[in-house]
Amino acid sequence: MRRRHRAWARIDLAAFRANLATAQKAAGRARVWPVLKANAYGHGARRLALACADEGVARIGVGDSGEALELREAGVRVPLLVLGTVIDAELPALLRHDIEVGVHSEGRARALGAFARTQSSRLGVHLKIDTGMTRLGVLPEAALRVAQAIADEPGLELRGVMTHFAARDGIHDPRTHEQQRCFQGCIRQLRDAGISIPAVHGANSAALFSGLQPLGDAVRPGIALLGILPAQLAPEIPLQPVLSLHAQIVFLKDIPADQPVGYGGDWISHRPTRLATLPIGYADGVPYRLGSSGRGTVLVRGQRCPVVGAISMDYCTIDVGHVRGVEVGDTVTLIGRDGAAMLNAQEVADAAGTIPYEITCSIGARVQRVYHDAAPHPAEERQSAPLPAP
């Protein structure tokens, strides 16, 4: 078989759509606003945002202004919310492209409003309340004052009030309940003061899928839409992995026992064996730690193979001595399924001492994203994998 790419990430759009539907079911009457920051956690924000638009989502969250503008450029007309902070230089483009921003301080709110007025325009904003994440956001005791300032500012339009939960396991962590209570209190206070709030939103994937209630008007899942969620959080929820990561074998080499392999000779063969070289390295998102932890694993012909030696920038090596019939050109799976064998992003993250978010976000630009809208048989896929757009 001849693959078209050295290394590629297969993105299953049908799985993404299914996860969106699953999230919508879990959200009940709240709307799902997908969070597609950091290039949709490495999956490719443009294509996923267009899929979201097809599915009729009402709003998409992004990490910064550049990501929002990239989606506008790709033809995404859905309302976009920059969840992080913006800087002054970005304001003209944000206004021009009707992009909403999160507001994290009173000073920021005033500056945004003043600028919008100079353009005879209005900027849509979401007030972010820090209920315990202790990162961005106004403190609960300042929430009413800042909300009032936004309401009184003709250059701003309050489109929502939000918070963000810190716990990794949602409602299984008592801090989530504390944050929720605090948030509900702030919302009541704002409403009692006569401030009209078009949308209240808080839940991320962990909060949504662990069963947080009430969810307010919208939820903001990111990682769960990509089919990655700690199994204990939602054991019955059928989320499907969206990304699989592959490379093809470009070189095979038989080596004797006692042969040091790779930079530093960190790994030494203890028996004669066969090594395969993969054209994917740490610049492409293979964690360097996988080489030194001794726990790196990939799949070849349905079998697990250890990563051996240090991961290089562009390459890594694996031991295929136990796999029959290996050839140059064989597909290697670094994340995903191969026959009965499966390696998910969580396992790779565990082996590298990190979290799955970092694993998928780190997949580099050289790795071709190949999008599939249904799930064809692997044999069919071999012939139909499209060439990258010019």
Ligand X SMILES: *Cc1c(COP(=O)(O)O)cnc(C)c1O
Burial of 158 (0-12, 13-18, 19+ CB in 10 A): buried
Stretch that binds ligand X, among 169-177, 210-218, 219-227, 326-334 (CB under 6 A): 219-227
Select from 93, 64, 56 the least CA-distant residue to 81.
64
Binding mask 313-352 for ligand X (x = CB under 6 A): ----------------------------------------
Tally the residues of the chain: 390
Q: Count Cα atoms within 13 angstroms, Cβ side, for 228.
A: 27
Q: Which of residues 192-211 bind ligand X (CB under 6 A)?
A: 204-206
Q: Please answer whether residues 206 and 167 qualify as being in contact, where contact means their C-beta atoms are separated by less than 8 angstroms.
A: yes
CB nearer ligand X, residue 288 or residue 357: 357
- The answer to the question of residue 34 lying near ligand X (CB under 6 A) is no
Helix (H) or strand (E) holding 106: helix 106-118
CB of 332 to ligand X, least distance (A): 28
CB nearer ligand X, residue 36 or residue 255: 36
CB nearer ligand X, residue 222 or residue 309: 222
- The answer to the question of residue 221 lying near ligand X (CB under 6 A) is yes
Q: Please answer whether residues 32 and 16 qualify as being in contact, where contact means their C-beta atoms are separated by less than 8 angstroms.
A: no
Omega within 30 of 0 (cis) for the link into 260:
no
Enter the tokens of residue 315. 């390459």
> Alpha carbon of 85 to those of 101, 136, 356: distances in Å?
8, 8, 24
Annotated catalytic residue 128: no
Rg (CA), the chain: 24
Q: How many residues bind ligand X (CB under 6 A)?
A: 12
- Give the residue, chosen from 223, 276, 290, 332, that forms a contact with ligand X under the rule CB under 6 A: 223
In the DSSP assignment, the letter for residue 309 is S
CB of 224 to ligand X, least distance (A): 6
- Give the residue, chosen from 5, 220, 301, 369, that forms a contact with ligand X under the rule CB under 6 A: 220
* Annotated catalytic residue, options 37, 128, 315, 371: 37
CB of 146 to ligand X, least distance (A): 17
CB nearer ligand X, residue 65 or residue 269: 65
- The answer to the question of residue 137 lying near ligand X (CB under 6 A) is no
Omega within 30 of 0 (cis) for the link into 214:
yes
Helix (H) or strand (E) holding 298: strand 297-300
Binding mask 40-79 for ligand X (x = CB under 6 A): ----------------------------------------
* Annotated catalytic residue, options 41, 253, 263, 315: 263
Select from 281, 383, 282, 277 the least CA-distant residue to 330.
277
CA 327 remoteness from chain centre: 34
CB nearer ligand X, residue 205 or residue 312: 205
Buried b (16+ CB within 10 A) or exposed e, 293-303: eebbbbbbbeb
- The answer to the question of residue 83 lying near ligand X (CB under 6 A) is yes
Distance between the two ends of the chain, CA-based, in angstroms? 24
- Give the residue, chosen from 113, 132, 170, 222, that forms a contact with ligand X under the rule CB under 6 A: 222
By beta carbon distance, the residue nearest ligand X is: 222
CB of 67 to ligand X, least distance (A): 12
CB of 327 to ligand X, least distance (A): 39
Select from 177, 164, 159, 331 the least CA-distant residue to 245.
331
CB nearer ligand X, residue 230 or residue 279: 230
Q: Please answer whether residues 56 and 258 qualify as being in contact, where contact means their C-beta atoms are separated by less than 8 angstroms.
A: no
| CA separation for the pair 348, 77 (Å, rounded) | 36
CB nearer ligand X, residue 202 or residue 279: 202
Binding mask 158-177 for ligand X (x = CB under 6 A): ------x-------------
CB of 268 to ligand X, least distance (A): 40
Residues that bind ligand X (CB under 6 A): 35, 37, 83, 164, 204-206, 220-224
Active site residues: 37, 263
